[in-house]
């Protein structure tokens, strides 16, 4: 079969990258094989290179601005694209179409038009973000567009798996095919001498190719340079490509004192020659579909260092044909590059092996796969008969389903209201399963009917007598197995079938309750086979069913199906999760046509079967969120807020716990009902249940626990470990299963406000999309700034982060180097913040950094304001330092151990009451005892420690957010001595409530002088107490929170009343 004569390519983008190059390659190949090819795309500045190459290749172009509008939602894209396609594209002119879709949202308006046209089509997906969540509306668009002649293709296994997950389908079902990218390289005769290009004859060249974009890992490469040049001084890094990150990369390199080793070379049209000539090719991508540059490097025989992202570790083998390092890990990247630059034998081996592996990714193989697919789609279209007016293809026009079992095997089709017959793909049904189902049919008559044709939706043509029951069970099982391929159609068929079957019962009164039981057996088959909810079938039955006995049986069986799903979905040692009970309903329980009393009986039945007081309470809470607990009480119920946190210790053990506790209490004082929702890591269920009970008793709040799977727990722990090392991989905190659990929980709970702690859980806002009116993010700090500080500390500590005071170099004991530190925002951090209506910043400095980057008014500073609890006494000649054990606090502890304590001991002489620093908290574990200090460790009542102190002492030179321990000390009227940058963010004013310094030498001298001057100390204590009495009040933090909520659009009555 020859290729299609007239082909249309649609490119919904505004640039010229991998997706556009792929589309151009297909167009040129089709053109060279005799096809007339037209490409439709938005003619703009970004697509001028594509237009030029189309003109050079003789490919026709249509100016069609089908790229998604910037900032538009998927359904807005759907509407805008659909209108443009309808106005600009005449599909009748073509024999086949292909779409270059970088991601699902970019083609959502094109799909319905293609499906309606009847034109064979291939939609090629190049990059689907890990953890992408598509709304039900978007999924419906994809499902309604399914046709035997329309194929979804991914350029890699990773893209396929991410797209299938986003659509809620099993990747192995074959819903999305894979045709891996392939390349054919062209080498010039003139080799490139890269050292001479930069004027350094003995340079060892590390080359990178790609846009200067966060996706390509530009910052990671720059951060890796110091780790390489410390071992290979003549290493030089050449980046070929354009983009807006050039200035920030240069600035970053200068800050790291390696600016002379970084060369931004701009765009080059000889990437293959460059990679072949380089000593090492570094491709530190953060995510990819299937990188064409990587494939070109493989064919060029380059020595490759790349990242284990997007299944790249499946393409290459570590230590065999490439070096593969973790994503966003500059230390590992630098180590791998340096090792290869010093190991010529390994480089030679890599060059040979990678060229052999490259043969699996040739352009010829890729194009042959597309040829086969095109032939199959054209044939499928030719063999399908459609009615004259079947353009819609949506679920609303379904009239009946036809199931045939003949000599050629099983086939299914949907017949629409206009008489059009649409074949449905059945390649996921296995013959053994079908045979086993048929063998279970007791009636030979039914088997004979299936051997012919069974029509049941809208026609009522069900077999008579005992046949309907057996046929119903079989049909449901077949639909269940088919579900992943056409979920929208199947769910509509479930409901329609229920209505038709009830009508059949009305015609045949002799059919008893047992018949209903037999049909309801299909509920389990539907759920297990398709992962679809049985609620649609129940909805169809209950809509038509009048007999009270039969309705009770439907309600009872539905409750059993819900509980069965819960119990099969239990995580480790957790009890059945009530949120999962509602997850299978996808929020549809609230819409069931239940009569008076039936709804209460349904929820009572589920609650009783779940068992356990805690789960019964939880299920009642979730049911309340759906309005399922009976008639509403008179009067307005209070607004409800859910405070979400991964970790929260009560009593508070660190500053983060203190902040969360303050917010919980503030929401309660505003007048809102508060529920605390906590994630529970694997193996921690019993412990967290005890913690939750303490929290309920002490604070009178609800506490809900969401258990994590082993895999999710491991993923989050790994993400925290990377973050603690300065690798701010925010995507690592996303977990698909946790997302689904939280989404299900919020569907049931439906709070008025969702309050999320920490930006790395910003994806929870997406789980709340459409479910919660107002979403609040309390950042605690800016993750990008924190990781920049950690990287700076590591750089100054011989590439390691200190874990004890002994390993902290003296150079770190000055805050000026950290106060002036500049940082680039992580690509995911700002979008995560932008998903919330309110973004609370504990630090005014960080609020200023972010406020201009988000819509006006969305970012609100909310500093800690604890109640003023004055000390009953002050200690004498004692300074206190209280802290947990993190890197920043270890720096402060090292300053005390290595510089301050010995200084105080030397100044004490023979005094009866020596000056000393008393240290409290987990940070003591990083210290060694010595003169001039006392290590107390964690104590049950830190309030008593404040009463023993004369001043609070905080020699922590770096940190983010606001130091809560400083705020705690000030709220008690205790003066604070600290570094200037840390103190100002926490409200320290020199001479009023403390003293500020720029170096540890000045700070220790100031501390000793103050403790040796009783009058000056007493005056500062009195001034601090007066300042705190004016500054801190029990209601100020509550009022500030209410104002922040109202300012950003929250309209709850409680908020507006208090804000006024």
Residue range 129-179, pLDDT digits in tens: 888 888 878 887 887 787 778 889 999 988 888 888 888 765 554 568 889
- The answer to whether residues 795 and 777 touch, using CB atoms and an 8 Å cutoff, is no
Residue range 989-1033, pLDDT digits in tens: 999 999 998 888 899 999 999 998 999 999 999 999 999 988 887
The answer, yes or no, to whether residue 657 has pLDDT greater than 50, is yes
Please, what sign has the CA dihedral across residues 303, 309, 310, 316? positive
User: How high is the pLDDT of residue 479?
Assistant: 46
Residue closest to 1027 by CA, chosen among 985, 975, 982, 980: 975
User: How high is the pLDDT of residue 538?
Assistant: 66
The answer, yes or no, to whether residue 569 has pLDDT greater than 50, is no
- Residue 973's region, left for phi above 0, alpha for psi from -120 to 50, else beta, is left
Question: Could you tell me what percent of the chain has a pLDDT over 90?
Answer: 25
Lowest mean pLDDT among 46-60, 92-106, 596-610: 596-610
The answer, yes or no, to whether residue 334 has pLDDT greater than 80, is yes
The answer, yes or no, to whether residue 604 has pLDDT greater than 80, is no
Average pLDDT across the chain, whole number: 76
As given in the structure block, the two tokens for residue 738 are 């946790």
Mean of pLDDT values over 191-210: 91
CA distances from 149 to 152, 263, 389, 668, 906 (A): 10, 49, 18, 58, 86
Residue closest to 17 by CA, chosen among 293, 358, 309: 293
User: How high is the pLDDT of residue 461?
Assistant: 32
Cis, peptide link before residue 651, omega less than 30° from 0: yes
Look up the CATH number of domain 878-1032: 3.40.50.2000
Starting from the edge strand earliest in sequence, which strands make up the sheet with 177-178, in order?
60-63, 36-41, 6-11, 96-101, 121-125, 150-154, 177-178
| Residue 991 to residue 977: CA distance in whole angstroms | 10
Q: How many CB atoms lie within 10 A of CB 69?
A: 12
Residue range 886-910, pLDDT digits in tens: 888 998 999 999 899 989 988 876 6
Residue closest to 892 by CA, chosen among 983, 1021, 828, 975: 983
Could you identify the residue written with the tokens 């200068």? 254
- Residue 873's region, left for phi above 0, alpha for psi from -120 to 50, else beta, is beta
Question: Domain spanning 6-178: which superfamily?
Answer: Glycogen Phosphorylase B; (3.40.50.2000)
| Axis crossing angle, helix 487-507 with helix 535-544, rounded to the nearest 10 | 30
User: How high is the pLDDT of residue 18?
Assistant: 81
Residue range 606-651, pLDDT digits in tens: 666 665 444 544 454 444 444 333 323 334 457 889 999 887 877 7
User: How high is the pLDDT of residue 789?
Assistant: 84
> Vertex 227, ends 222 and 230: CA angle to 5°?
120
Most confident of 225-239, 413-427, 589-603, 960-974: 225-239
Residue closest to 167 by CA, chosen among 125, 196, 230: 125
3-state secondary structure of 778: strand
More confident residue, 353 or 864: 353
| Residue 540 to residue 523: CA distance in whole angstroms | 12
Residue closest to 290 by CA, chosen among 537, 102, 83: 102
pTM above 0.75, yes or no: no
The answer, yes or no, to whether residue 343 has pLDDT greater than 50, is yes
| Residue 59 to residue 25: CA distance in whole angstroms | 11
List beta partners, residue 838.
776
3-state secondary structure of 456: coil
| Residue 103 to residue 792: CA distance in whole angstroms | 36
| Residue 774 to residue 756: CA distance in whole angstroms | 11
User: How high is the pLDDT of residue 442?
Assistant: 34
As given in the structure block, the two tokens for residue 912 are 């009866």
Residue range 842-884, pLDDT digits in tens: 877 778 878 777 777 888 888 877 778 888 888 888 999 998 8
The top-level CATH class assigned to 194-360 is alpha beta
Which residues of the chain are in CATH 3.40.50.2000 domains? Answer: 6-178, 194-360, 640-782+825-861, 878-1032
| Residue 251 to residue 714: CA distance in whole angstroms | 36
| Residue 985 to residue 475: CA distance in whole angstroms | 67
Does the domain formed by 640-782+825-861 have CATH 3.40.50.2000? yes
- The answer to whether residues 97 and 153 touch, using CB atoms and an 8 Å cutoff, is no
User: How high is the pLDDT of residue 1026?
Assistant: 92
User: How high is the pLDDT of residue 384?
Assistant: 54
More confident residue, 508 or 312: 312
The answer, yes or no, to whether residue 595 has pLDDT greater than 80, is no
Residue range 43-59, pLDDT digits in tens: 766 677 788 788 778 89
User: How high is the pLDDT of residue 223?
Assistant: 95
């Amino acid at each position: 079969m020859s290729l299609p004569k007239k082909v249309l390519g649609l490119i919904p983008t505004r640039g010229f990258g991998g997706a556009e190059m792929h589309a151009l390659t297909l167009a040129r190949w089709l053109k060279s094989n005799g096809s007339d090819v037209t490409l439709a795309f938005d003619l703009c500045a970004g697509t001028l290179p594509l237009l030029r190459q189309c003109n050079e290749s003789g490919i026709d172009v249509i100016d069609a601005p089908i790229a998604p509008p910037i900032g538009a939602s998927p359904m807005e894209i759907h509407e805008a694209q659909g209108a443009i396609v309808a106005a600009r594209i005449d599909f009748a002119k073509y024999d086949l179409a292909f779409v270059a879709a970088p991601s699902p949202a970019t083609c959502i308006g094109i799909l319905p038009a293609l499906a309606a046209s009847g034109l064979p089509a291939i939609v090629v997906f190049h990059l689907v973000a890990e953890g992408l969540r598509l709304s039900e509306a978007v999924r419906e668009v994809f499902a309604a567009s399914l046709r035997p002649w329309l194929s979804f293709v991914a350029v890699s296994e990773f893209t396929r798996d991410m797209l299938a997950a986003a659509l809620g389908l099993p990747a192995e079902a074959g819903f999305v095919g894979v045709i891996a990218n392939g390349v054919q390289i062209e080498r010039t005769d003139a080799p490139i001498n890269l050292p001479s290009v930069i004027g350094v004859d003995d340079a060892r060249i590390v080359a990178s190719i790609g846009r200067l974009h966060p996706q390509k890992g530009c910052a990671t490469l720059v951060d890796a340079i110091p780790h390489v040049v410390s071992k290979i001084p003549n290493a030089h890094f050449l980046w070929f490509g354009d983009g807006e990150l050039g200035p920030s990369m240069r600035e970053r390199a200068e800050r790291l004192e390696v600016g002379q080793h970084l060369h931004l070379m701009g765009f080059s049209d000889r990437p293959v020659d460059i990679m072949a000539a380089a000593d090492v090719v570094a491709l530190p991508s953060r995510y990819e579909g299937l990188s064409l540059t990587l494939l070109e490097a493989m064919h060029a025989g380059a020595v490759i260092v790349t990242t284990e992202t997007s299944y790249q570790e499946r393409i290459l083998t570590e230590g065999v044909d490439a070096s593969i390092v973790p994503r966003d890990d500059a230390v590992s990247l630098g180590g791998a590059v340096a090792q290869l630059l010093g190991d010529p034998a390994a480089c030679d081996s890599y060059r040979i092996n990678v060229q052999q592996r490259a043969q699996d990714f040739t352009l010829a193989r890729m194009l042959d796969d597309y040829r086969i697919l095109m032939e199959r789609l054209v044939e499928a279209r030719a063999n399908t008969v459609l009615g004259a007016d079947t353009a819609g293809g949506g679920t609303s026009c379904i009239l009946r389903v036809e199931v045939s079992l003949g000599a050629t095997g099983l086939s299914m089709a949907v017949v629409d209201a206009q008489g059009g017959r649409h074949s449905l793909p059945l390649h996921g049904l296995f013959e053994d399963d079908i045979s086993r189902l048929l063998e279970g049919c007791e009636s030979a008559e039914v088997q004979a009917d299936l051997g012919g044709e069974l029509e049941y939706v809208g026609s009522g043509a069900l077999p008579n007598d005992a046949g309907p029951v057996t046929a119903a069970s079989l049909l449901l099982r077949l639909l269940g197995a088919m579900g992943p391929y056409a979920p929208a159609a199947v769910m509509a068929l479930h409901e329609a079938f229920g209505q038709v079957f009830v009508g059949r019962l009305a015609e045949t009164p002799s059919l008893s309750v047992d018949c209903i039981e037999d049909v309801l057996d299909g509920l389990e088959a539907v759920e297990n086979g398709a992962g679809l909810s049985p609620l649609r079938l129940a909805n169809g039955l209950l809509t038509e069913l009048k007999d009270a006995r039969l309705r009770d049986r439907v309600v009872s069986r539905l409750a059993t199906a819900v509980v069965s799903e819960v119990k099969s979905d239990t995580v480790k040692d957790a009890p059945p999760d009530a949120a999962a009970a509602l997850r299978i309903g996808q929020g549809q329980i609230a819409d069931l046509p239940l009569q008076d009393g039936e709804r209460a009986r349904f929820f009572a039945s589920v609650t009783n079967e779940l068992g356990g007081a805690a789960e019964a309470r939880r299920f009642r809470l979730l049911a309340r969120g759906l309005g399922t607990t009976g008639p509403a009480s008179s009067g307005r119920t209070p607004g409800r807020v859910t405070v979400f946190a991964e970790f929260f210790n009560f009593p508070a053990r660190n500053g983060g716990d203190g902040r969360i506790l303050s917010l919980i209490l503030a929401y309660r004082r505003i007048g809102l009902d508060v529920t605390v929702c906590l994630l529970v890591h694997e193996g921690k269920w019993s412990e967290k249940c005890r913690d939750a009970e303490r929290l309920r008793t002490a604070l009178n709040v609800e506490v809900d626990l969401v258990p994590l799977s082993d895999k999710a727990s491991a993923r989050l722990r790994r993400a925290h470990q990377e973050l603690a090392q300065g690798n701010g991989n925010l995507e690592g905190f996303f977990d698909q299963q946790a997302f689904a659990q939280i989404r299900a929980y919020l569907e049931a709970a439906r709070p008025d406000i969702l309050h999320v702690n920490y930006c790395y859980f910003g994806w929870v806002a997406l789980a709340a999309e459409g479910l919660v009116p107002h979403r609040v993010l309390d950042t605690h700090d800016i993750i990008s700034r924190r990781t920049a500080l950690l990287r700076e500390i590591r750089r100054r500590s011989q590439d390691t982060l200190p874990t004890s005071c002994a390993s902290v170099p003296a150079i770190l004991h000055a805050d000026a180097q950290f106060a002036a530190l500049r940082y680039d925002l992580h690509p995911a951090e700002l979008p995560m913040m932008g998903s919330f209506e309110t973004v609370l910043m504990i630090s005014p400095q960080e609020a200023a950094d972010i406020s201009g980057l988000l819509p006006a008014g969305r970012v609100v500073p909310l500093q800690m304001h604890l109640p003023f609890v004055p000390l009953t006494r002050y200690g004498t000649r004692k300074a206190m330092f209280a802290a947990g054990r993190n890197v920043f606090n270890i720096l402060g502890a090292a300053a005390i151990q290595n510089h301050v304590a010995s200084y105080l001991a030397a100044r004490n002489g023979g005094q009866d009451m020596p000056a000393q620093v008393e240290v409290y908290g987990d940070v003591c574990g990083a210290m060694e005892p010595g003169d001039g200090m006392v290590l107390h460790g964690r104590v049950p009542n830190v309030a008593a420690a404040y009463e023993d102190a004369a001043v609070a002492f905080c020699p922590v030179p770096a940190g983010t957010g606001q130091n809560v321990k400083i705020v705690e000390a000030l709220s008690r009227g205790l003066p604070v001595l600290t570094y200037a940058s840390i103190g100002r963010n926490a409200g320290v004013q020199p001479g009023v409530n403390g003293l500020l310094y720029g170096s540890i030498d000045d700070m220790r001298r100031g501390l000793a002088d103050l403790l040796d001057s009783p009058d000056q100390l007493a005056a500062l204590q009195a001034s601090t107490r007066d300042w705190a009495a004016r500054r801190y009040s029990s209601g100020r933090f509550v009022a500030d929170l209410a104002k922040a909520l109202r300012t950003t659009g929250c309209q709850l009555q409680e908020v507006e009343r208090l804000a006024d």
